[in-house]
Amino acid sequence: MSTATYAIRLGDDCLILGQRLCEWAARAPELEEDVALLNIALDQLGAARTLLTYGGSFDGRDEDTLAFLRDEREFTNALLMELDNGDFGRTMARQLLVAAYQLPLWEALSSSADETLAGIAGKAVKEVAYHLDHASSWVIRLGDGTHESHTRMQVGLDEVWPYAFELFEVDAVLEDLVRAGVAADPSVLEQAWLATVSGVVKEATLELPSSDWRPTGGRAGRHTETFGYLLAELQHVHRSHPGASW
Amino acid sequence: MTVADVRAALAEVCDPEIPVLTIEDLGILRDVSVAGGQVVVTITPTYSGCPAMEEIRSDITAVLHRHGWQDVSVAMVLSPAWTTDWMTAEGRSKLEAYGIAPPRRTGPVDVVLGGLACPQCRSRDTEQLSRFSSTSCKSMWRCRSCREPFDHFKDH
C-alpha cells in the first residue's frame, strides 16, 4: 500500500464521518449540541480535504474528484464512520470510539517521516482533543444518568463497538509503511484507544461490550447498506451540475 | 516596492468572521516575499476546516491587486501548526474591545478552565457553556455577574 492509499483511507474516514454528523443539523437535543456536532463535522471535513488533496496528488486527482466522483466500492473508509447515527447515545458512543482512536493516530503521525502527513496531523491533533472531551463528557453524563439514559447509552455502545476493530487491522503493506515511519502502528493505537475508552466506560458506569463479532470490509470498498444513501446526498449536486460554480 | 509596502497593504485584510482582526493580528500571516515584481504571501490555516481561509486567500489577492501588484500568489503552509500564541498583543486588545474574550497563553501546562474575565463587566465569575460556538475558533461562555453570554477565542 502506498502513502497515497493510506492518506485516502484516512481522508475517507474523516469525510464520511463528517457527512454523517451533518445529519444532526437542527435535530440535536439542544442548540449547543447542534453547534458542537457541526463544529466537529467541520474539523473532520477540514482534515478530509487536506488528506484527500494529498492522497490524490500522487495520480493527479483533486479533492473534488475523490469526494464527488468515486462510487461506493471505491471508498475506503472504515464501516464505523458510515453507520447510521441512531439516537444521540449511539452517536456519542461512536464519537468516543473515533476520538479515542484519532487522538493517538494524529499524535503519532505528527512525527511521521512523511512531512505532509505530519503537518496535517499536527493540526488535527489539537482539534480532536476537543472531540474526545466532548464525547467523553456525554457518555459519562448519559451512562451515569437515569435508568433510561444508562440503558440507551449501553445499547448504543454495544451496537457500534464491533465496528471499531477495523480501525486496527494490519496488512503486509501497512506494516511496510509503519516500518518506514510513515504510518502509525495500529497495535500501538489499539492499546492507547482501549485504555482511553475503558476509563470513560468505567466512569460512565457502563460495561465494555463482550461481543467478538468483527465486521469488516470498508477498506476494500465493501460497505453497509446505508452507505449508498449517504453518498447520494453527498454527491448529487456535484454530479447533477458538473462544473457548476458561483 | 518592498516587503514593508506589501505588509502595510495587507493590514487591510481582515478575518471575515471577526472583522476587527487583521490576518497579522491573527498570526496566520507567515511570510511575505517580493522578487522581481512577484509577490508571494504565505499564510497558515487556523482550524483545518475553517471556511474563512478561502475568503482570506481571495481578499489578499484583491487587496494587493488594488494596490497595483498584479503578480500575486498566496501559498498555504500547514506546519508548524498555527497557535493562538501567535496572536499579537494588539489583536488580543481588539478582540476584547469587540466583546470576545481573547485566548490565554497556551504552554506546557494545561489551561485551567474557569476564571476567564467577562469582556463586558470584567468579572471572573464566568462559566463555559460549550467548548464549541459560532465558529471553529471560539467557545461559548456566560458571566454569572452581568448575566451576559459571550464568546471566548479558544486557547489553541
Touching A: B residues 66-125, CB under 8 Å: 77-82
- The strands making up B38-43's β-sheet, listed across from edge to edge, are B29-35, B38-43, B72-76
Residue B50: the pLDDT is 86
Residue of chain A whose Cα is closest to the Cα of B53: A46
Domains of chain B in sequence order: 3-82 (3.30.300.130), 85-153 (2.20.25)
Q: Which positions in chain A touch B156 (Cβ < 8 Å)?
A: 126
Whether A42 contacts chain B with CB within 8 A:
yes
Residue B22: the pLDDT is 96
In a domain, A93, yes or no: yes
Residue scoring higher pLDDT (A193 or B37): A193
Whether B131 contacts chain A with CB within 8 A:
yes
The reply to whether residue A123 touches residue B136, judged by beta carbons under 8 angstroms, is: no
Cα distance from B151 to chain A (closest Cα, Å)? Answer: 13
Closest by Cβ to A42, choosing from B49, B129, B130: B49
Q: Say how far apart CA A34 and CA B40 lie, in whole Å.
A: 39
Domain count, chain A: 1
Q: Scanning the structure block, which residue is given the C-alpha cell 497515497?
A: A4
The reply to whether residue B132 touches residue A35, judged by beta carbons under 8 angstroms, is: yes
The reply to whether residue B48 touches residue A47, judged by beta carbons under 8 angstroms, is: yes
In a domain, A21, yes or no: yes
Q: Say how far apart CA B129 and CA B133 lie, in whole Å.
A: 9
In a domain, A111, yes or no: yes
Domain range enclosing A190: 3-207+220-240
User: For B78-102, what is each residue's pLDDT tens digit?
Assistant: 999 999 999 999 999 999 999 999 9
pLDDT tier, B56 (very low <50, low <70, confident <90, very high otherwise): very high
Q: Say how far apart CA A44 and CA A52 lie, in whole Å.
A: 12
CATH of the domain at A34: 1.20.1260.10
Burial of A57 (0-12, 13-18, 19+ CB in 10 A): middle
Cα distance from A49 to chain B (closest Cα, Å)? Answer: 8
User: For A42-83, what is each residue's pLDDT tens digit?
Assistant: 999 999 999 999 999 999 999 999 999 999 999 999 999 999
